[in-house]
């Protein structure tokens, strides 16, 4: 026995009496039967967790309790605690939400009484326009504020304009300052001072209002828009609100409003068009939401499906549908009950088969099920006792293992295919985007499972090298004698594969392939053209490349491959490093196409 163990035993004997230890045993046994964890027991009794662990093991050895009982009681205690927390949090969150709404409405009321505008309140509180409008409506209905008492930014602007105009007239009548000085003093433009001096300000303002209200559709201006302006235009055409567009495109409200103004001024899409697009979307939404409600969709599910809708707008549409008599609350509830039954059966069948949540969602042809909905239904089915959690877990684990095995077999088959092609571990690593170490380690596992040893690898690699050398000889033979078309065609296919595997080709080889393409139309197809054009641009000097590509275009300009050749030329000149070198040499990144 070690000195440390002896000291520990001495420490325990000194610290606790027999009576203490008996009390600890009884309390520990009682708390274990209640499902309390070892750490919590140690904290309550005032001893170490290790002491409780040893005590628990001794109680199990004596047969006073089993590990299975401890685990079951712990699960029951956790479930009970979770349910209590859930009920408490729901009640608390609802009460808290109502308190927050009441507090916000009191703040909004106070700010309106202080003369703040809607825009100012939105900016100060950081709340959306829909929320502030709902608060206004509630305050007006309760009689806490009159509609006339709500100050708008437009009326404030009008008051400010009148104040400045009066100040300008006063300064002009005094005659001590020039118009430029008055403009600087009042913080307006010099033109405004001139208009006030000549009594033309009202006429100019009326003219400007008429001009802004006039909308001239100008589809040609659409071609001159920038990328972000086109994106905003496309979203506005769909009838989406500004806040959704800003969030989707990742732009600020100020930027969005500036783009809307550009679209309006240029005549691409005016405010009248925005209003019409939104009305059209609302009509379509009402029709679609009605259909979804009849199918048993809840409002939260509808919002999840239609991301551009918020809670307030969805609720407003549902209320309108009820007021119009198109659907009742009883019909909505009945449809939801029927829908829940249908999707419960779908999820239950999936659970019985051991399907994963994603597979269950994929089996839903309606597209109703989402991950949170599926998990919620799954938990409800387990609580109702329609399927046991243990059975589902076993079947689900078996299903996941089957999928994993199938995926592993598929990967193994692909890896073996590449080995049979004669590829090295380095080439496989580059092709599959894995590390060399992993590629080699995978071969060790494959060898152990499928018995593919070093001799096989050498055999396949030698066969690959031999096939390539035979192909080169066939290519030379065809250039000299014009025989062996099929062998050359096969060699083209081999080389295209080899290019994908990372093999480098020389300038001489590139020229040979190019010569063969021009010699016989039998080798003419898009894969071969792409391969040859890429080799030339990558390996052959720019002057030779230009000459060859022009010759290629002359030979096949009247065929179906004319556009394909031009596309390949343009693509590879822009995609390869050879482009930069050619720009430096010749100042031109594409060959002249005659």
Going by C-alpha positions, the residue among 520, 537, 527 that lies closest to residue 564 is 527
For residues 334 and 493, what is the distance between their CA atoms, to the nearest angstrom?
63
Q: Which residues contact 311 (CB under 8 A, 6 or more apart)?
A: 299, 303
Average pLDDT, the chain: 77
For residues 136 and 130, what is the distance between their CA atoms, to the nearest angstrom?
10
Distance (Å) of CA 122 to CA 128, 257, 477: 7, 16, 81
347 in the same domain as 246: no
318 in the same domain as 223: yes
Answer for the pair 591, 533: CB distance below 8 angstroms, yes or no. no
The predicted structure's pLDDT at residue 584:
47
Residue 533 belongs to what domain range? 473-586
For residues 260 and 270, what is the distance between their CA atoms, to the nearest angstrom?
8
Q: Which residue has the tokens 């390869």?
A: 576
489 in the same domain as 579: yes
Confirm whether 202 is domain-assigned: yes
Distance (Å) of CA 373 to CA 27, 297, 348, 522: 43, 11, 13, 59
Mean pLDDT lowest for which of 430-444, 499-513, 533-547, 565-579? 565-579
190 in the same domain as 111: no
* Percent of the chain topping pLDDT 90: 0
The predicted structure's pLDDT at residue 207:
56
For residues 212 and 210, what is the distance between their CA atoms, to the nearest angstrom?
6
Confirm whether 594 is domain-assigned: no
Highest mean pLDDT among 152-156, 281-285, 295-299, 563-567: 281-285
Mean pLDDT along residues 4-12: 41
Mean pLDDT along residues 279-300: 86
Confirm whether 115 is domain-assigned: yes
Confidence of residue 216 (pLDDT cuts 50, 70, 90): very low
The predicted structure's pLDDT at residue 367:
66
For residues 176 and 166, what is the distance between their CA atoms, to the nearest angstrom?
16
The predicted structure's pLDDT at residue 499:
85
126 in the same domain as 200: no
For residues 568 and 184, what is the distance between their CA atoms, to the nearest angstrom?
62
Confirm whether 27 is domain-assigned: no
Query: Which carries the bigger pLDDT value, residue 205 or residue 555?
Result: 555
Answer for the pair 117, 151: CB distance below 8 angstroms, yes or no. yes
Confirm whether 244 is domain-assigned: yes
Report the Cα 505 to chain-centroid distance in Å.
41
377 in the same domain as 303: no
For residues 558 and 544, what is the distance between their CA atoms, to the nearest angstrom?
23
For residues 125 and 103, what is the distance between their CA atoms, to the nearest angstrom?
12
Q: Which of 323, 356, 378 is the last residue of a domain?
A: 323
Dmax over Cα atoms in the chain, in whole Å? 111
The predicted structure's pLDDT at residue 392:
66
Q: Which of 105, 132, 151 is the last residue of a domain?
A: 151
What phi and psi values does residue 151 have, to the nearest 5 degrees?
Answer: -85, 125
Q: Which residue has the tokens 């307030």?
A: 312
Read off the pLDDT of residues 235-277 as tens digits, 9 standing for 90 and up. 998 899 988 899 888 888 888 888 888 888 777 888 888 888 9
Confirm whether 76 is domain-assigned: no
Other Cβ atoms within 10 Å of 109 Cβ, number:
17
With a cut of 60, say whether residue 452 has pLDDT above it.
yes
The predicted structure's pLDDT at residue 203:
64
Answer for the pair 64, 85: CB distance below 8 angstroms, yes or no. no
Mean pLDDT lowest for which of 160-169, 199-208, 211-220, 406-415? 211-220
**DSSP assignment letter at 272:** H
312 in the same domain as 237: yes
Question: Which tokens sit at 224?
Answer: 């001159």
189 in the same domain as 111: no
Question: Which tokens sit at 301?
Answer: 């599910």
Mean pLDDT along residues 104-124: 81
Confidence of residue 221 (pLDDT cuts 50, 70, 90): low
286 in the same domain as 241: yes
Total of domains in the chain:
5
The predicted structure's pLDDT at residue 399:
67
176 in the same domain as 96: no
Q: Which of 387, 407, 428 is the last residue of a domain?
A: 387
Confirm whether 134 is domain-assigned: yes
What per-residue string of b and e applies to 525-563 under the rule 16 or more CB within 10 Å gives b? eeebbbbbbbbbbbbbebeebbebbeebbeebeeeebee
Answer for the pair 428, 415: CB distance below 8 angstroms, yes or no. yes
Q: Which residue has the tokens 């304009």?
A: 161
Going by C-alpha positions, the residue among 34, 30, 25 that lies closest to residue 58 is 25
Q: Which residue has the tokens 């709902």?
A: 134
Answer for the pair 584, 542: CB distance below 8 angstroms, yes or no. no
The predicted structure's pLDDT at residue 403:
60
Mean pLDDT along residues 448-452: 79
Confidence of residue 501 (pLDDT cuts 50, 70, 90): confident
User: Which residues share a beta bridge with 117?
Assistant: 151
For residues 586 and 543, what is the distance between their CA atoms, to the nearest angstrom?
9
177 in the same domain as 120: no
The predicted structure's pLDDT at residue 219:
54
- Global pTM reads 0.37
Going by C-alpha positions, the residue among 246, 265, 348, 335 that lies closest to residue 293 is 335
For residues 264 and 385, what is the distance between their CA atoms, to the nearest angstrom?
61
Mean pLDDT lowest for which of 17-21, 89-93, 340-344, 523-527? 89-93
Confirm whether 447 is domain-assigned: no
562 in the same domain as 526: yes
Residues in the chain: 594
Confidence of residue 50 (pLDDT cuts 50, 70, 90): confident
Confidence of residue 405 (pLDDT cuts 50, 70, 90): low
């Amino acid at each position: 026995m070690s000195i440390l163990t002896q000291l520990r035993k001495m420490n325990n004997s000194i610290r606790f009496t027999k009576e203490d230890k008996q009390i600890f045993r009884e309390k520990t046994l009682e708390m274990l039967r209640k499902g309390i964890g070892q750490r919590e027991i140690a904290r309550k009794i005032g001893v170490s967790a290790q002491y409780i662990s040893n005590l628990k093991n001794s109680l199990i050895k004596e047969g006073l309790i089993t590990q299975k009982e401890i685990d079951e009681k712990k699960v029951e205690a956790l479930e009970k605690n979770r349910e209590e927390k859930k009920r408490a949090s729901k009640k608390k969150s609802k009460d808290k939400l109502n308190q927050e709404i009441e507090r916000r409405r009191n703040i909004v009321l106070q700010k309106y009484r202080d003369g703040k505008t809607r825009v100012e309140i939105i900016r100060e509180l950081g709340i959306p326009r829909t929320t502030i409008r709902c608060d206004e409506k509630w305050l007006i209905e309760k009689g806490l504020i009159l509609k006339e008492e709500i100050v708008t930014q437009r009326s404030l602007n009008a008051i400010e304009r009148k104040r400045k105009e009066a100040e300008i007239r006063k300064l002009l009548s005094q005659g001590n300052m020039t118009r430029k000085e008055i403009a600087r003093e009042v913080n307006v433009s010099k033109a405004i001072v001139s208009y006030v001096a000549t009594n033309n300000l009202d006429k100019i303002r009326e003219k400007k209002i008429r001009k802004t209200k006039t909308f001239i559709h100008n589809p040609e201006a659409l071609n001159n828009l920038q990328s972000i302006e086109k994106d905003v235009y496309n979203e506005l055409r769909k009838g989406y609100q500004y806040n959704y567009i800003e969030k989707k495109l990742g732009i600020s409200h100020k930027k969005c409003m500036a783009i809307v103004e550009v679209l309006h001024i240029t005549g691409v899409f005016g405010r009248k068009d925005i209003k019409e697009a939104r009305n059209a979307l609302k009509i379509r939404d009402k029709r679609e939401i009605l259909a979804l409600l009849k199918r048993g969709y809840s409002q939260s599910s509808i919002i999840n499906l239609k991301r551009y809708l918020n809670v307030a707008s969805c609720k407003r549409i549902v209320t309108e549908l009820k007021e119009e008599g198109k659907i009742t609350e009883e019909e909505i509830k009945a449809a939801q009950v029927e829908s829940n039954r249908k999707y419960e059966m779908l999820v239950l069948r999936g659970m019985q088969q051991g399907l994963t949540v994603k597979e269950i969602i994929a089996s839903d042809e309606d597209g109703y099920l989402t991950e949170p909905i599926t998990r919620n239904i799954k938990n409800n089915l387990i609580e109702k006792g329609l399927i046991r959690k243990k059975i589902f877990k076993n079947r689900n684990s078996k299903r996941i293992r089957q999928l994993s095995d199938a995926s592993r077999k598929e990967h193994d088959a692909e890896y073996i295919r590449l080995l049979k092609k004669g590829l090295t571990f380095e080439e496989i690593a580059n092709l599959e985007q894995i590390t060399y170490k992993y590629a080699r380690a995978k071969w060790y596992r494959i060898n152990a499972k499928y018995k593919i040893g070093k001799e096989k690898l050498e055999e396949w690699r030698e066969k690959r090298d031999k096939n390539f050398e035979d192909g080169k000889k066939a290519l030379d033979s065809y250039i000299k004698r014009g025989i062996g078309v099929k062998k050359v065609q096969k060699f083209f296919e081999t080389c295209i594969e080899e290019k994908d595997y990372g093999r480098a080709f020389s300038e001489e080889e590139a020229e040979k392939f190019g010569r063969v393409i021009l010699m016989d139309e039998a080798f003419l197809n898009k894969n071969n053209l792409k391969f040859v054009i890429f080799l030339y641009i990558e390996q052959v000097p720019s002057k030779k490349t230009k000459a060859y590509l022009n010759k290629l275009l002359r030979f096949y300009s009247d065929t179906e491959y004319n556009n394909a050749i031009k596309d390949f030329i343009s693509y590879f000149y822009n995609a390869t490093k050879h482009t930069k070198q050619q720009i430096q040499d010749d100042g031109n990144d594409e060959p002249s196409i005659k």
